Structure 1
């Protein structure tokens, strides 16, 4: 409804709605609603005999939203928190509600930190990332990537010019920082 100076039309009465719309209001009488017995908590009528399940071990240390009193009885542990990204995630859960943008921005930032930590860990373990194969560049060349872009309505055509910059800039920056560090180290060793 648009806000105007005129007085709005009064709402239609249930009788007028029932006359105008076939079947309107059929569920107003609780005796006619098929879900009414399910809406009442009466385990003796339904035969339900469910109790709160035993808690999974380790629930005390799991992160949970401040809106919830406790962690669910069963939870995933596939990716335990670690490093600086874990500290940021714990802070996001401990400090901000899930309704706040700060909560989600911190979690996104923690994901980015985790990527950097994983790349550094891989480099230190002698298994660095391979940007050529992991970015799909080889598949674009050998899998007719150029042909699939001509006369196409692919969604990624609008930003394809930006893809090399987004994918390559971190590697170029890391190479530049590495070269500068090596140059500085060599300069110190020659003194």
Structure 2
């Protein structure tokens, strides 16, 4: 068991492991281990004197991996999952183990949804996001952005033509959707 000073016991015996895994236990005989003269078993090498550390209070249900029976004794609480991204994260942890690609792809999708949600939340706040200043477009024009990249052996020069597309495309697409929705609402009201 993790977080205890005791060495966990093997679920299988050495003979069972040796029969199942070729070469397993090659270093069990002390003659075959070069570190044996210096090897010293210290039960508390790092000064851990507790049997199991006191666990942090779980004020809200946290996502946890299917591989683990419980949360680690200390866990982060600064960014609790919320909204649609939180639903996706909880589903990823509840349904798939960390060894599955679907788990990680869902977490990546949740990050993208969270970015969209935070942008949408900023529009209803007192200080909405400003894509012109926050993406650095104004600085590119006022502080010699293109001139600083020409005739230099920079690794990032190759993707610079894509940067405006990656930064501007979501905003243009969102603007297009808003215009279409407004037109449909106007048409429906007539």
TM-score by length of 2: 0.75
Answer yes or no: is 1:37 the counterpart of 2:43. no
Q: For 1:99-138, what aligned pairs fall within 5 Å after superposition?
A: 99-138=99-138
Q: Indicate conservation of the 8 Å contact 1:59/1:71, yes or no.
A: no
Distance 1:142 1:26 in 2: 68
Q: For 1:34-183, what aligned pairs fall within 5 Å after superposition?
A: 36-38=39-41, 40-41=42-43, 49-58=49-58, 61-183=61-183
Matched residue count:
160
Partner in structure 2 of residue 15 of structure 1: none
User: Per the alignment, in what secondary structure is the counterpart of residue 105 of structure 2?
Assistant: helix
Q: Which runs of 5+ in 2 are unaligned?
A: 1-30
Q: CA RMSD in A?
A: 2.4
Structure with more relative contact order (C-alpha pairs < 8 Å, separation 6 or more): 2
Partner in structure 1 of residue 8 of structure 2: none
Larger Rg: 1
Distance 1:109 1:29 in 2: 47
Q: Out of 168-177 and 62-71, give the one that drifted further.
A: 62-71
Structure 1 residue 107 displacement after superposition = 0.3
Structure 1 residue 57 displacement after superposition = 0.8
Distance 2:50 2:160 in 1: 54
TM-score by length of 1: 0.75
Distance 1:65 1:175 in 2: 39
Distance 1:48 1:111, change over 3 A: closer
Partner in structure 2 of residue 5 of structure 1: none
Structure 1 residue 108 displacement after superposition = 0.3
Distance 2:151 2:131 in 1: 28
Equivalent in 31, 34, 40 of residue 28 of structure 1: 34
Q: Which runs of 5+ in 1 are unaligned?
A: 1-24
User: Per the alignment, in what secondary structure is the counterpart of residue 162 of structure 1?
Assistant: helix
| Structure with greater proportional helix content | 1
Distance 2:48 2:117 in 1: 48
